[in-house]
Copies of this chain bind each other. A is one copy, B any other.
Amino acid sequence: MQDKLLISRKLDELGVDFIEGGYPLSNPKDATFFEEAKSLKLSHAKLVAFGMTRRKGISAAEDTGMGALRDAGTEYVTVVGKTWDLHATEVLGVSLEENLEMIADSVRYLTSVGRKVIYDAEHFFDGTAANQAYGLRTIEAAARAGAVMICMCDTNGGSLPERVAEFVALAKAHLEKAGFKTPLGIHPHNDSGVAVANALAAVNAGAVQVQGTINGIGERCGNVDLTTVIANLALKMGKSVLKAAGSEAASLAHLTEASRYVYEIANLNLVNGQPYVGMSAFAHKGGMHVHAVNKLAKSYEHVPPESVGNTRRILVSELSGVSNIAAKAGKKFDIEKDRAVQKKILDRVTQLEADGYQFEAAEASFELIVRREVGRYRKFFELDHYRCAVTRTAGHVPVTRANLTLLIAGKELTASAEGDGPVNAIDNALRQALMPVYPSLEQLRLVDYKVRVVNSTASTAAKVRVSIEFKSPHGGASGLFGTVGVSENIIDASWQALVDGVEYHLIHEVESKP
């Protein structure tokens, strides 16, 4: 749940127009999301609740799905309906006329209760190929009932760009002839490997909305990857896409960061070869080639990597890398002019990243690195040792106990605690030892804990990266901050991330006092 709120905030910062937040009827968690999302205060993006047309044989007002959409309380809602005659009769089991009524009723009802309705025409391309007249009647029904946007879905992902261009133009012409200027959208899937091209073809044919996901995450072969679509539209087709507070170019420069943030939250590995935003998208290898790149960047790069917030990878270029460090450290540390410190931090970060660390969602761990280099770090305790043991006897639940000894101002403090698992046990023991000395730790809460295998080829001997999200009065805007730890040993990776969280909290606690 927390994840969806975080991603919504990120998408809003990036400057997208609409965020589809889930299907409130099918999933109680999605309903809760729309409730909690009201506190998000998005600056530009509109949250959208998603649902299907009313069921057969009842009025829209009686339908629980319609009610759930209405009660989500969003300005916009998306309703998906059947375009394909075969689906209406064989899957829904209704007549072609009743399907049209279901579309019209649903759009009309939601419009009547004050919602702006985006109509998703499921299987638009396959349905219209099978029965063109009927396919066009379904979207006309939605337009006539007041839909503010009609989105053509390539639900099975089987269309090629020529067909997409032809059918979008056909839909546009049909609606205009019927007297409607309803804007059109496209919702491609990647089953034929051409989802991005289909999105671009639709835009060229007059569509103004592209429905997809960051990184193309989605079932089967995925939805269209919006990061690629956004970059192509903005950089190659001269379209205005991102509408955050700043300029289009400034928003676009956050594309890579947004992509990696979503991978991190979704606990998925980065796709190195991903266009524009992948780690390898601007990687150059081979001596002569690299020389040519340095000599004449545009002769080997289709766009400047920095235009999408990515970086050229050859050797970490001191110039570009160092300036990023200063930017990431921010105003708090004012290292803009200290090239030596910037270089030291960059070297440390580069080394840690090579070891599997990632700092995109671990701003607190990054800040601790900066603090060490600028002399604004302090230690509140030292580890003497910890030990954590899990024992399981047949027929019993596993028992986990952690023991640790810390040194605080030269004094030994020992604690011992059980936990539901090793990380929980260590967290409990750490708090037990520290709380008497640093009572403000009571305000520090663990909000999320993620584990990722970094180099999966080495199987159980692989390194793991642990990411922890904390909440405390000293976190960012929402009180949240993240830390990271990496080790071949999951317990030790967790220990590192826990300790970073505690130190970050305590340093800020001290600095917040006059």
Contact = CB atoms under 8 A, between A and B. Distances in A.
Interface stretch (A109-117, A189-197, A338-346): A189-197
Contacts of A197: 160-161, 193-194, 196-198
Given A86-B299, A456-B450, A420 B489 contact: yes
Contacts of A246: none
Interface stretch (A139-147, A256-264, A327-335, A392-400): A392-400
Contact of A427 (B424, B446, B456, B460): B460
B457 A2 contact: yes
A500 B351 CA distance: 38
A222 interface: yes
A383 interface: yes
A456 B3 contact: yes
Contact of A459 (B445, B462, B488): B445
A398 B489 contact: yes
A228 B158 CA distance: 12
A324 interface: no
Contacts of A442: none
Interface in A99-121: none
A446 B419 contact: no
Contacts of A204: 162
Contacts of A219: 280, 283, 285
Name A's interface SS: mixed
A462 B228 CA distance: 32
Interface stretch (A64-72, A176-184, A271-279): A271-279
Nearest to A237: B160
A275 B192 contact: yes
Nearest to A428: B460
A508 interface: no
A7 interface: no
A199 to B, nearest CB: 10
A459 B501 CA distance: 13
Interface string A144-188: 000000000001111011100000000000000000000000000
Contacts of A160: 197, 200, 232, 236-237
A200 B190 contact: no
A447 B461 CA distance: 11
Contact of A221 (B194, B267, B281): B281
B390 A385 contact: no
B456 A453 contact: no
A354 interface: no
Contacts of A446: 459-460
Interface in A479-497: 487-492, 494-495
A84 interface: yes
Interface stretch (A11-19, A40-48, A300-308): A300-308
Nearest to A86: B299
Nearest to A396: B385
A90 interface: yes
A452 to B, nearest CB: 6
A495 B427 CA distance: 22
A382 interface: yes
A220 B281 contact: yes
Interface in A424-447: 424, 427, 445-447
A90 to B, nearest CB: 5
B393 A192 contact: no
B487 A459 contact: no
A163 to B, nearest CB: 9
Nearest to A163: B236
Chain B CB within 10 Å, residue with most, of A459, A464, A495: A459
Interface of A: 1-3, 84, 86-87, 90-91, 123, 126, 155-158, 160-162, 190-194, 196-198, 200-201, 204, 216, 219-222, 225, 228-229, 231-232, 236-237, 267, 269, 273-276, 278, 280-283, 285, 292, 295-296, 299-303, 382-394, 398, 400, 419-424, 427, 445-453, 456-457, 459-462, 464, 487-492, 494-495
18 contacts: A2-B457, A91-B292, A156-B302, A191-B276, A192-B236, A193-B228, A220-B281, A267-B452, A269-B456, A385-B392, A387-B391, A398-B489, A419-B461, A420-B461, A421-B461, A422-B489, A422-B491, A424-B461
